[in-house]
Every structure is written in C-alpha cells, then in structure tokens.
Amino acid sequence: MDIKLKNIKYLTGTKVIAVILAWLCFMSAAASGIFLIYNQDVMHNSSYYTTNSFNSEYSRLVHNAIELQIKLRNEPGIIVSSASQSTVSDNAERYQVIKNRLEGTVNFSYYIKNTATGEVISNVNAADRVALLKKQPSYLYLKQGVSGNNNLWYQDDIAKMLSGTNYEVHTAVVEPLKPGDALYEEFTNFSRVKAGIPYMIPALIASIILGLASFAYLVWAAGRREQSGEVNLLSVDRIYTDVHTLLVFLAAVLSIAIVTEVSNGGTIIMFVGAAIIFGIDLVIGLTYILSMVRQFKKKQLLRNSLTYKLYSAAKEYVVLAFRGKLFKAWTLLVLLGYGAINGVLFAIFLSTWRYNGAFEFLFSGLLLLGFNIAAVYFAAKSLRSLAQIMEAAKELSSGNLDYNLDTKEMSAAFAGFAEDLQGMQSGLRKAVAEAVKGERMKTELITNVSHDLKTPLTSIINYVDLLKKEELKNENAKEYVMVLEEKSARLKQLIEDLIEASKASSGNLSVTAEKVDMHQLVMQAYGEYEEKIEKAGLDIRTNTVEKDVFVLADGKYLWRIIENLLSNALKYSMPNSRVYISVEKNEKYGVLTIKNISAFPLEISPEQLTERFVRGDASRTAEGSGLGLSIAQGLTNLQGGRFKIDIDGDLFKATVEIPLWVEI
C-alpha cells in the first residue's frame, strides 16, 4: 500500500489532474476576484443608499431637479432672451433634456417649496408629501446654507444654485422601488450581487488555496518519476529557456493588448473572449513555470539557453581560431583586415567617381586593383604551399619516406603545418630504419647461432657414419644408428633452411637480377625432379601455352622457389594424383602456378602456411622443415614479385608472380 501511494505521487495521471485542477482553480479565482473587484461598491456598502452607484445617480437627479425647477425656470428670458442667441438655445436645449430625464425616472421624488411665495413644485402625489419623503432612507433636505449629507455629489454647484433663493428642497427615493428606471435596475442588481457575495469570497479563498496547493505539488513533482530518480524532461523542455521566456512574454503582451482592446466593448462575447485568452495564458504560464522548474532541477536552466549555446559555440570557434594550430589568429585578422581595407578602398573609389576628377578616380581605381592583385598573389602562394604539402603527404602515405618537402618558399600560413609534416616524416623514417635494423640483427643472430650449431653437428654426423661402419653385433644398435643418421641429416636441413628463411624474409640477400626464361626453368626443374616424381607416383602436367615468358629475376632464387614448391607438392600430394604446373603472363608479371591435391586435409589458412615452421599437418611427422613456403614467399618478395597460396578443399594452389623482363 505504501509503495502504491508513493507511486501515485509521481504518476502522470496525478499530474494531469493536478494541472487541470490548478487551471480550474486559477480560472475560478480570477473570475471571482474580478467579480469582487468589479462589485466593490456593492461589497463595501450594506445599504443600497450608500453605494456609489446610487449616490451618483441620486445626486445627478437632485442636481437635475434643482437646476430645472429653480435655476432654469427662473432664468430671466428663457423664452425672450436678453443674452446671446446661443446661450438661449443652449439653456432651452438643456431644459428639455433635464425635463425628459426627470420625467423618465419613476422612483425619484422631490418637493420644492418657495418659502417666500409659498409656491410648491413636486412630482409626488400623496396626502402628506413631505412626511412621506422624510420617512425614506434616502431623504435629503436642502436650502440656502443646508447642504444635505456628505454623500451628495455636486454640492458646490447645488449650493450655488440655491444661494440667494428662498427655496427649500425635499428629495427621496420612495420605497418600495418601482420598475422603469436606472435606479430600479441598479437596486435589483445590488440585491442580486449582495446575495452572491457571501458565496464569492469563500470561493475565491478556496480557489486560491487549492490552486496554490496544486501548483506547489506540480512544482515539487515536476520532472520526477520516482522518489530518488533522475529528473525527467518533457519535449517542451527542449525549447531554449531564453527563447521560451521571450515567447511567454510576447504571449502576455499580446493577451494584454487584446484584453484591453476587448474590455472597451464590455459585451458578454468579449468577456468570454477575454476568459478564453486568460485560460490559454494560464496554460502557457503553467507550462513555462513547470518547464523552468524541471530544468532548474536538472541544473540546465542556463545551459539550455540559446544565448549560452551561441556563447559556447562562439567560444569554441574563437579558441579554435586563436589557440588552434590550424590557423593562427593573425590569419583571421589578415582576412578581416583584407575585407576592411577592400571596403574602404571601394568606398573611396565610388566617392571619387561621384565627386572628384578623372585623375583621382583613376588613381583610386588602380589602388583598388593593385591591392586585390596583391591579395590574389598571396592567396595563390598560400594555395601553392598547400598543394606542396598535400603532394608531400600523398608521397609519404604511398611509402616514399625520402620525399623532400621544400619549406623555403612556403607561405607563412602553412609553414607550421609543413614543419609538422616534416617532423612526422623523419619520425617515420627513423621507425622504418629501426625496424630494418632490428630485422637485420635478428638475421645475424640466427646466422651466428646456426654456425655454432653446425660445428657439433659435423661431429655428430661424422661419428654416426663411423659407427655405421663398425661391425655392430646388436640388431637394435644398428637400428638406433639409422635413426641417428636420419635425424642428424634432418637437423642439418633445418639449420640451413632456417638461415635461408631468415635471410629471405629480411631481404638480407643480394639479388642479381637478369633475363630468365620461366619456361626453361620449369623444364630444368622437371629434369631435376624427374626421378623423385616417378618415385612418388605423381603425374606432372606442365601447361606452357606461352613459351616466351621472360622475367627479371635471379635464376638461383627463382629455382629455389620452384624447388620448394615442387618438393612441397611431392611431399604432401595424394599418391597417384596429378600436379599441374603452368607458366603464363599478365600485364606486369610472369605467373607460375603449381596445383596439387593434398593427401592431408588442409585445415589451415593460406596466411598461416607461409609463416615459419608452420606445416599443413599438425603432427609434424612428415619430413620437411616447415620453412619451404616461407622461404619461397621471402624470395619472391625479394625479387619484387607476389606470392599467393589458395586452398580450396584439398586443392592446394601456389601462385608466384615475378615482374616481366622489359627490353630497354
């Protein structure tokens, strides 16, 4: 249960409900608040007769009655005027307006009495009119020197009109009010609002409290999924914070403008429009605040601003430009300077065209032209330097470590780059030299060790041979001597192969290359191996379609290659199978291929086979040193050729490519 409750706090549904609740509360708070503010007059007065709206209407009517019945009626010559024509017509017009208004009010009653003449003017039809008026809560009594109560408006004006007269004025709104005029409408409105206010205030307070609570919850829960989890962002948070702020600000300004425009009208549709706008603004504002809260929690409020992004990007470029090695700061300054100078010169050129003589015009034109030609010259020089560097880099990558990059004429913009490249080149050269030296030392070591091995081996071979010549009575002893003889011969072969292999692979052999007929070589090889081939029961098929395959090679080494491949075929071929030897040529190479069927399954990769001491048969019981293919490969490479082995099931194929001999 606990866990469930905790989870509910972070559920999206809960949050959505909170958002809706907050929105509703703020809407209702706003509505009730506006209602209360709008009806402040009603709220502050317990009686209708003390409200401002009543006072303003009542005071106007009092003023109107006094103006009509005392001032205008007694105005001398209101019909036959003495003053200006316009004043007369003004007064007449005013008289009519006020008269109409007074006649239109049902609830306003007055009783005016001239104490000097006893003349009474009233709109009240009752027995004791003054007593009736005096009973009313809105009753006023005015005469020269008596100014009613403090709520009465226009008191100065009224006092002015009453001064010097003998009139006493009784006014009141007689209760109960009858329908038909503004006073009645305002009274009914007052009664209605007054009845609503007791509900409105608690509603306002409740809305505010609930809204704030929802809002507080939302702020607290914003970005959280689990109690201690990471802050999760919504898609709206991807908007840059400063851009978001600006948009919200714009929306607010726009809303205020619209509402201001709308509120002048005051119709119900306008009011609904304002409410809709406010509702939308509320959503925008809530979204904005919660987004800010989430990003604040994630500590990216500043980082996720466009300003910050622009700032850091600019910083990066500046750092790249001013600290980076690619372009030095002054390169950029030169570019800026070029643009500025060009602009100034062009401005001068244009102004001389407009205002000066032909000489100045020509001179400034030449200046502009010369400046740009110089700029193009320096740019071309830089580009040539770059081209040189690129050329050098290409040579380096293709292995020409001795390429000489001339830095004397190098443009200053690329001088550093060129020097770096040279540094790289010398580093590479050093590494290659070290590698060659290492390989040479290895070969020397192998050769020396082999020499040391040979001397004791000589004795072994000699004494085994002598032992063989002794009259050995024991049959076992004879057998043992045979084994010794065989193995010592094998050891001898191994040592010789080892020396040759290390020399061949390190290139530590001198090659005397000459024109060699590959076809002839294959014939000779066949002659040398004829006997062994027959003994092995193999059928050698030589396919020499092209007879004139002349290659540039050292015949001795080429023979060693063929010898190794042939003896390989003899050793490992399936008995009574065929061995195919072919000599062909392609565009650059003379190609010799030897194909045979292996007696053993070849469960080994071609690459491994050419490694030293690797043999097709894992048991190593067959004769051979395991160096034959390695030597063949080394010697092929030594002569600028290519050596390749293909294995397809039991088919073993060796391809030797030796550069063709070219007639000079």
State the nearest-atom distance from the C-beta of 635 to another protein, in Å. 12
State the nearest-atom distance from the C-beta of 610 to another protein, in Å. 22
State the nearest-atom distance from the C-beta of 324 to another protein, in Å. 56
22 within 8 A of 164, measured Cβ to Cβ = no
State the nearest-atom distance from the C-beta of 600 to another protein, in Å. 28
State the nearest-atom distance from the C-beta of 404 to another protein, in Å. 35
Q: How far is CA 503 from the centre of its chain?
A: 58
Instruction: Decide if residue 638 touches another protein (CB under 8 A).
Output: no
Residue from 528, 584, 611, 650 in contact with another protein (CB under 8 A): 528
Residue from 22, 29, 521, 583 in contact with another protein (CB under 8 A): 521
| Stretch in the footprint of another protein (CB under 8 A) among 77-85, 242-250, 251-259, 451-459 | 451-459
- Give the DSSP H or E segment for 120: strand 120-122
Report d(CA 498, CA 490) in Å as an integer.
Answer: 12
**DSSP codes, 55-71:** HHHHHHHHHHHHIIIII
Instruction: Decide if residue 518 touches another protein (CB under 8 A).
Output: yes
When the beta carbons of 50 and 493 are compared against another protein, the nearer one is 493
> Residue 579 burial (CB < 10 Å; 0-12/13-18/19+)?
buried
| Stretch in the footprint of another protein (CB under 8 A) among 116-124, 267-275, 298-306, 550-558 | 550-558
287 within 8 A of 219, measured Cβ to Cβ = no
Q: Which residues contact 143 (CB under 8 A, 6 or more apart)?
A: 115, 162, 167, 168, 169
517 within 8 A of 549, measured Cβ to Cβ = yes
Report d(CA 457, CA 449) in Å as an integer.
Answer: 12
> Residue 650 burial (CB < 10 Å; 0-12/13-18/19+)?
middle
When the beta carbons of 288 and 557 are compared against another protein, the nearer one is 557
When the beta carbons of 121 and 509 are compared against another protein, the nearer one is 509
Residue from 6, 309, 451, 478 in contact with another protein (CB under 8 A): 451
Instruction: Decide if residue 558 touches another protein (CB under 8 A).
Output: yes
Total number of residues that touch another protein (CB under 8 A): 40
Instruction: Decide if residue 218 touches another protein (CB under 8 A).
Output: no
- Strands 539-543 and 578-585, by their bridges, are parallel
Residue from 36, 158, 553, 581 in contact with another protein (CB under 8 A): 553
State the nearest-atom distance from the C-beta of 656 to another protein, in Å. 13
Residue from 530, 539, 623, 646 in contact with another protein (CB under 8 A): 530
In Å, what is the CA distance from 260 to each residue of 196, 249, 266? 27, 16, 10
Q: Which residues contact 19 (CB under 8 A, 6 or more apart)?
A: 214, 218, 286
State the nearest-atom distance from the C-beta of 533 to another protein, in Å. 10
Instruction: Decide if residue 536 touches another protein (CB under 8 A).
Output: no
When the beta carbons of 338 and 559 are compared against another protein, the nearer one is 559
State the nearest-atom distance from the C-beta of 475 to another protein, in Å. 24
Residue from 559, 580, 606, 647 in contact with another protein (CB under 8 A): 559
When the beta carbons of 382 and 542 are compared against another protein, the nearer one is 542
When the beta carbons of 7 and 458 are compared against another protein, the nearer one is 458
What's 49's DSSP letter? Answer: G
Instruction: Decide if residue 159 touches another protein (CB under 8 A).
Output: no
Binding mask 303-342 for another protein (x = CB under 8 A): ----------------------------------------
Report d(CA 9, CA 226) in Å as an integer.
Answer: 9
In Å, what is the CA distance from 295 to each residue of 9, 232, 285, 286, 370? 20, 9, 15, 14, 57
Residue from 237, 497, 517, 657 in contact with another protein (CB under 8 A): 517
**DSSP codes, 237-255:** GGS-HHHHHHHHHHHHHHH
Instruction: Decide if residue 526 touches another protein (CB under 8 A).
Output: yes
When the beta carbons of 150 and 510 are compared against another protein, the nearer one is 510
What's 50's DSSP letter? Answer: G
529 within 8 A of 566, measured Cβ to Cβ = yes
Q: What are phi and psi of 573, to 5 degrees?
A: -75, 150
Instruction: Decide if residue 523 touches another protein (CB under 8 A).
Output: yes
State the nearest-atom distance from the C-beta of 521 to another protein, in Å. 4
Report d(CA 507, CA 497) in Å as an integer.
Answer: 15
629 within 8 A of 609, measured Cβ to Cβ = yes
Instruction: Decide if residue 457 touches another protein (CB under 8 A).
Output: yes
State the nearest-atom distance from the C-beta of 523 to another protein, in Å. 5
First to last CA, the chain: 98
Candidates 555, 628, 546; CA nearest to 586 is 546
State the nearest-atom distance from the C-beta of 457 to another protein, in Å. 5
Footprint of another protein on residues 460-499 (CB under 8 A)? 460-463, 465-466, 488, 492, 496, 499
Report d(CA 602, CA 616) in Å as an integer.
Answer: 6
By three-state DSSP, how is residue 181 classified? coil
Residue from 25, 29, 516, 635 in contact with another protein (CB under 8 A): 516
Instruction: Decide if residue 567 touches another protein (CB under 8 A).
Output: no
Instruction: Decide if residue 149 touches another protein (CB under 8 A).
Output: no
Residue from 524, 567, 577, 637 in contact with another protein (CB under 8 A): 524
Candidates 566, 557, 562; CA nearest to 519 is 562
Residue from 191, 260, 458, 608 in contact with another protein (CB under 8 A): 458
| Stretch in the footprint of another protein (CB under 8 A) among 130-138, 327-335, 520-528, 628-636 | 520-528
State the nearest-atom distance from the C-beta of 535 to another protein, in Å. 14
Instruction: Decide if residue 556 touches another protein (CB under 8 A).
Output: yes
Report d(CA 605, CA 620) in Å as an integer.
Answer: 17
Instruction: Decide if residue 102 touches another protein (CB under 8 A).
Output: no
Binding site residues, another protein, CB under 8 A: 451-452, 454-455, 457-463, 465-466, 488, 492, 496, 499, 514-518, 520-521, 523-528, 530-531, 542, 544, 551, 553, 555-556, 558-559
